[in-house]
Amino acid sequence: MARQQKHFDRSFNIGLLHPRFWGTWLAIAVLFIFGLMPAVIRDPIAKLMAKLVIRIAHKPINIARINISKCFPDKTSIEVEQLIKQNVDAFVLALLSQAELLLRSNNHLKRRVKLHGFEHVQQVRAEGHPIIFIMPHVWPIDYAGLRLNLEIPMVSMAKAHRNGLFNWFSNRLRSCLGARIYMREAGIRALLAELKNDFSFFYLPDEDLGPEQSVITPFFATTKATIPVVGRLAKAGNAKVMPVTIGYNYQARCFDLTVLPALDPDSMNSKESEALVLNQIVEQVINAYPEQYMWFLKILKTRPEGELKIY
């Protein structure tokens, strides 16, 4: 039996022209048009379209409302709804902008993403370490990954989309600077092999993957299940772990990407301590730009024993 491929194939195949994908091709064409627009024109359009999204996206907005209320119980209902509005604005802006990552030049990407704290990366790279960047699910995460990929070799891991054409498009975009995009099924071994080949990558620790192998620790005003694997992975791959924040500056019409100093490996010397540290990093990244986080994810799905489900 042939060995299953563990990374996404970014090459074009004739099957992507099947009539069932014609609607997706139309959507991609629209994204290309927006990707070529200057931000001064695109941003106001995104704000207008966000108002429509708020009216029709009832289920994800309700999930966001639950998450925000659980994490920030001191927020009034008006403050919660305001954050949701800002969050939808950020989502639509990132969606309409993302094709520019594939269409525009590297110099354009540098202008659109202002990189701060890169001296921390240079220091650990000079010491011979690859890097595990820690960032939760934020809307402009592709901007962060590609901007860093301009400076250092990177790989990534993504969940496959059901739509084959959108799957090809999104992974073509993420790998446009040469990065290999692994399927989630490839597992930790694939990432460890890349660390040993001096490739760095983003690790997203905020997704709730169920109670198996997870540790439930404090998260804002509630608790969250987190899989503590980064510490062992970093040790085995001789890597440093560095948190990253990114957010959109509406006045300057650019993203601010900040790499924070490497974590102390001793802070993750047990599964419990690592899960707590990862949750604290997620809090730190969210607090930097709370409107940029993907609040619609069911990040609080796993509850402590005896606590009722919240979704």
pLDDT at 10: 78
Q: Could you read off the pLDDT of 34-77 as tens digits, one per residue?
A: 999 999 999 999 999 999 999 999 999 999 999 999 999 999 99
Confidence grade of residue 2 (pLDDT, cut at 50, 70, 90) = very low
Distance CA 223, CA 217 (A): 5
pLDDT at 5: 54
Distance CA 100, CA 176 (A): 11
Distance CA 11, CA 2 (A): 20
Give mean pLDDT, residues 261-276. 94
pLDDT at 6: 80
Confidence grade of residue 237 (pLDDT, cut at 50, 70, 90) = very high
pLDDT at 187: 82
DSSP-assigned letter for residue 7: B
Distance CA 245, CA 256 (A): 8
Which residue is associated with the tokens 């890597």?
A: 239
pLDDT at 107: 97
Of 150, 252, 237, 229, the closest CA to residue 195 belongs to 237
* Domain ranges (residues) in the chain: 14-292
Beta-bridged to residue 155, according to DSSP, are 180, 201
Mean of the per-residue pLDDT values of the chain: 94
Taking 70 as the threshold, does the pLDDT of residue 104 lie above it?
yes
Q: Calculate the CA dihedral of residues 217, 218, 220, 223 and round it to 10 degrees.
A: 60
In words, the CATH class of domain 14-292 is alpha beta
DSSP-assigned letter for residue 8: -
Q: Could you read off the pLDDT of 169-226 as tens digits, one per residue?
A: 999 999 999 888 888 888 888 899 999 999 999 999 999 999 998 999 999 999 999 9
Rounded to the nearest angstrom, the gap between the alpha carbon of residue 199 and the centroid of all alpha carbons in its chain is 18
| Of 93-97, 160-164, 255-259, 303-307, the least confident | 160-164
Of 304, 310, 278, the closest CA to residue 136 belongs to 278
Distance CA 144, CA 243 (A): 12
Beta-bridged to residue 256, according to DSSP, are 114, 247
Q: Could you read off the pLDDT of 123-164 as tens digits, one per residue?
A: 999 999 999 999 999 999 999 999 999 999 999 888 888 898
H helix runs in 150-300, sequence order:
164-174, 187-196, 230-236, 271-288
Confidence grade of residue 1 (pLDDT, cut at 50, 70, 90) = very low
